Amino acid sequence: MGYIENLGKESLNTDLYELTMAAGYFENRVKERAVFELFCYQLPEKRSYLVFCGLQQVVDYLCNLRFTQEDISFLKKHAAFQSVSKGFFDYLRNFKFTGNLWAMKEGEVFFAREPVLQIEAPIIEAQILETYFLSMLHLQTLVATKASRITRSAQKKSVIDFGSRRAHGPQAALLAARAAYIGGCIGTSNVLAGKIFGIPTYGTMAHSWVEAFESEEKSFLNYIKAFPDQAVLLIDTYDTLHAACNLKKLNKSIKAIRIDSGNLLALSKRVRKILNADQLKNVKIIVSGNLNEHKIDHLIKMKAPVDIFGVGSEMVTSKDAPCLDLVYKLVQIEEGNGRIHLKRKKSTGKAYLPGRKQVFRLCSSHGRFLKDIIGCFLQKRPQGSCPLLEPVIVNGKLTQAMPDIEAIRQYANKRIHGLPAKCLTLKKTRPLKTAVSSPLKKQCQDMDQNAKRGLLIVDVQNDFCPGGNLAVKDGDAIISQLNRYIKIFSKKNGVIFASRDWHPQKTSHFKDFGGSWPAHCIQRTKGARFHPDLNLPKKTIILSKGTDPRQDSYSAFHGRDSKGRNFSSLIEFAKIQELYIGGLATDYCVKHSVVDACKRGMKTYLLTDVIKGVDPKTTKDALKDMRQAGAVEMTYEELHSRLKHDG
C-alpha cells in the first residue's frame, strides 16, 4: 500500500513513549500550551547547508491524524496502558490537531540551530507528533540536500534518481524520489512517485534483458520494436565499444545509450566519437554506476561527453552523511493565566536556545544571502531582514493551499542559488554566518541569572564514614567543607537535597543474598543515619534509594522523598536548572548521580573538594566518565566567586 493510501492510518507509527507521555499528561491533567521546535544541532561533515524537505507530508499527517477503534483496542491491551483511565482512550478516539504550525517554506535552505518547524498546541497534542515529524523530515531533508549537491556538480547536465532499489524500503524509495526531484533531479525511475507526485519518470533496460536473447543485437532490435520512439539501450553487458560500433547496423531511431560500468570517462569519450562518426550525433549518453557528486565533478572537469547522470545508492541513502542530528525540543510552556516558562538544555553538545523563536535572513541587493539571525519570536525584525518561519496551520486549519511540487522545486533551486559561493564547495563545511539576536541573548542571560540552583549531597552516612560497615577512606574529611556549601546554598535560597541508601535487611544488593556488598545502611539503623557533623537544614529534601530488595540503586535519581516523589519530578517542580553534587563515593553513587543529571539535560557541577572515592583506579575512571557526560568541575572558592554578585 502506498503512502497516500496510508494517510490517516499513521497514528501508531510512532515511538511508544510519545503515547505514554500523552497518557501521563492526560492523567495528571496537564493542559498547558507548549511550543516545540524542530532543528538540527549541527551540520554533518561536508554539508554547508541543508534543504528543508517533507513539509507537505507533515501537513497531510496533521490534517488527517486520527486514532481508529482498532488502534485504541490495541493500546488498551498493551501492558503500558493497563493503569490508564477510560478517559484517555476517549480522548484519543476524538483526537484532532487543534494547534498552530509555523514552518519555513519547503525547499528553504537552513543551518544549524535554526528552527525549521514550530508547533504551538496543548502539550499532549504537540508531544504525540515528535516521532513522525523527525522520521519524515529526516529522510527527505537528507536526500534533497544530497541531490542538490549532485545536481550542482553536474552543472548544466541532467541527473535522474535511479535509487529506488537501494533505498531503505519502498516508502523510503518513494519519498526519496520526491526529495531528489525537489533537490534538482529531472526525474526518477520510481513509477509510483510519478503517479502520486507527478514527477517525470525515466527508465532504460537491465543487463538481464540483453542476456535473455541469443545475441546483444537481437535484444536491441526487439527492444526498439517494442519502443520505437523511446529506445534507450544498455551497451556495457559484454563489450561496450563493440556494442557502440554495432549500433549503426540497426538503422533505427535510438534515443540514448547507457553505460553502467568501466572507466566512464574513457568509455564515454570513445563511444561519443563512434556515435558521431556513425551519424548518431543525436543519441545521448547516459552514465550510471555508483556515482556521487565528487565522481560527477571529476567527469565534468575532464570534459566527459555525458548528457545525463543516473544516480542511485549514493543519493537515496546520502551515503557520505546518512543521518542528521535532527531534534524536536520543548522550548516554552504557557500556563492558563498567560505566564510563560522558557525551557532549554545546557548540557554539553545538546544545548539549545530557549523560547519560541524566529529566523531572520539578511540578503544583498542582488539576493545573495549574507547572514541569518536567530531571534525571539516577537522581537522587532532586524533592519533589511526577512522572517523565514510563517504560519501554515492556525487553530488546526490550513492558512492556504500548499504549493505543488514544481513550485517547491523551483523555490529550492532559487534558494540554493542564493547561497554564497563558499557554501557550495563539495569538500569543506563552510556554512552561512549565523548569529543570535540581542533580545535572545538577553533572554538567555536573564535565565542564567534567575536560574535556581540545587545542592545534592550524596550518601554522607555513618556506614560510609570511618567506623562504618562500608567505610570510604577519609570519608568524613569532606564534611566541614560540605557544611560551607550548605551555608552558602541556604543563604542564596538554593534547594538542598540529601540522598541516602535506605536498604531493607534482605536485599540482593548484599553479599549474603547474592550481591556485591556487605550489609550497610539498613533502614532505621545507626549506620543509615547521616553523619552527625553534617549540618543539614530542616528544609533539606531527603531522597531514599535502594529500598527495592531486587535492585541496586546507586543514583540519587532512583530515590524518592517521604511523599514518594522521585528526584526528577522534584527538580522539575522546583524549577532547578543547575545541580551541584558532592558526597560519597566518587566511583559509585556520586558518579551515577552526576551522569544521570547530565543525561537529563541538567547543567551539572561536580564539587571536587567534597568527594571521596573507594578505589584510586575506579575513582580516576569515574572522573573521566563524569567529564565525558558533560559535568563541570568546581570548588567552593570558584562557586563563591561566581555567586558573590547575586542578589
Whether the Cβ atoms of residue 568 and residue 594 lie closer than 8 Å to each other: no
DSSP per-residue letters across 11-26: TTSS-HHHHHHHHHHH
Please give the radius of gyration of the chain, using alpha carbons only, rounded to the nearest integer: 31
Q: Which of 177, 148, 147, 151 is nearest to 164 (CA)?
A: 177
Q: Which of 58, 61, 75, 60 is nearest to 18 (CA)?
A: 75
Look-up: residue for cell 478516539? 93
Query: Which class for 88: exposed (0-12), middle (13-18), buried (19 or more C-beta within 10 A)?
Result: buried
Query: What is the rounded CA–CA span in Å between residue 458 and residue 4?
Result: 55
For the beta carbon of residue 283, count every other beta carbon within 10 angstroms. 22
Query: What is the rounded CA–CA span in Å between residue 37 and residue 56?
Result: 17
What are the grid coordinates assigned to 173, written together?
A: 524509495
**Residue 329, strand partner residues:** 37
Beta strands in 123-278 (DSSP E): 158-161, 187-188, 232-234, 256-259
Beta strands in 189-269 (DSSP E): 232-234, 256-259
Query: Which class for 246: exposed (0-12), middle (13-18), buried (19 or more C-beta within 10 A)?
Result: middle
Query: What is the rounded CA–CA span in Å between residue 118 and residue 391?
Result: 9
Work out the widest C-alpha separation in the chain, in whole angstroms: 103
For the beta carbon of residue 317, count every other beta carbon within 10 angstroms. 20
Residue type, 621: D
Residues 6+ apart with CB under 8 A from 369: 109, 361, 362, 363, 418, 419, 420, 432
Look-up: residue for cell 526529495? 179
Query: What is the rounded CA–CA span in Å between residue 3 and residue 295?
Result: 33
**Among 71, 297, 459, 501, the one annotated catalytic:** 459
What are the grid coordinates assigned to 505, written together?
A: 535487611
**Among 105, 329, 346, 545, the one annotated catalytic:** 545
For the question of residue 53 being annotated catalytic, the response is no
For the question of residue 589 being annotated catalytic, the response is yes
What are the grid coordinates assigned to 129, written together?
A: 507528533
Q: Which of 284, 269, 180, 156 is nearest to 230 (CA)?
A: 284
**Residue 369, strand partner residues:** 363
For the beta carbon of residue 242, count every other beta carbon within 10 angstroms. 10
Using DSSP bridges, classify how beta strands 326-334 and 33-40 pair: parallel, antiparallel or unpaired.
antiparallel
What are the grid coordinates assigned to 255, written together?
A: 534515443
**Among 53, 423, 589, 598, the one annotated catalytic:** 589
Query: What is the rounded CA–CA span in Å between residue 3 and residue 54?
Result: 13
Catalytic residue positions? 459, 545, 589
